[in-house]
Structure 1
């Protein structure tokens, strides 16, 4: 198994995982839209995507989006997506992706790596806490749906 930074040549493998990720979060399966979305991110360099591959098989991915902190005047990365294929779980794939994201954030001089997850996604919460992530107890998050 190895972690690669995704390029357009990884589009099909990453898009398939991305579609499964969306289904996990109770969205309708839509491979065409998933492919288009990932293709746009890669072509526009809107995000950075890492994938774990075992030979030609894609086992998991994470997608990072840039953000900036006005107070610290530094870059931050939002770890927005993390997904491991069901058959690859419990094999360290998620941890490999999280470690690669951390290395990348450090290499790019980021202040932090932030993420959120569903309140009932206990396996993800255990992984994040194992890797040193702390649950925010200082700030509330708000969202305005448009």
Structure 2
């Protein structure tokens, strides 16, 4: 198993994974929209996508979005998406993807990686806590839905 930095040449395979990721979060399948969304990210350098490659087949991915901490005056990375195909789960692939993403963040001089998951996603929470991610109890996070 290797992890590669995905680019526009991986669009087809990563789009399938991204669509399945969205389905996991109860969104309707829309492969064309997924492809267009990722194409924009790749073309605009809006995110960084790492993909797990098993003998030429992409079986998982994580997507990081850049941000900044004004207080620390440093870069942060938002680990927004993490997905591994069902047959490949519980084989350390999510840990491997996270490890590569965290190393990338360190090399970029980032002060931290932040993420969020659904309250009901206990499996993900266990993974994050095992990797020393800490629930933030110092700040409330708010969201304003615009659509």
**Alignment TM-score, normalising by the size of structure 1:** 0.99
Structure 1 stretches of 4+ with a deviation exceeding 3 A read none
SS at 2:125's partner residue?
A: helix
Deviation, 1:3, is: 0.2
Using the TM superposition, give the Cα deviation of residue 57 of structure 1 relative to its aligned residue in structure 2, in angstroms.
Answer: 1.0
Deviation at 1:139, TM superposition (A): 0.6
Deviations 1:53-101 (A, max 9, x none): 1012111000000000111100000000000111110111100010001
Task: Write the mapping of 1:66-81 to structure 2, written as runs, cut at 5 A.
Answer: 66-81=66-81
Match of residue 89 from structure 1: 89
Tell me the SS of whatever aligns to 1:125: helix
**TM-score, length of structure 2 as denominator length:** 0.98
Residue segments in structure 2 that go unaligned for 5+ positions in a row:
none
After superposition, residues 24-35 of structure 1 pair within 5 angstroms as 24-35=24-35
Q: In the TM superposition, what is the alpha-carbon distance from 1:28 to its structure 2 partner?
A: 0.5
1:1-146 to 2 correspondences below 5 Å: 1-146=1-146
Structure 2 CA distance for aligned equivalents of residues 101 and 142 of structure 1: 25
Structure 1: segments with no counterpart, 5+ residues: none
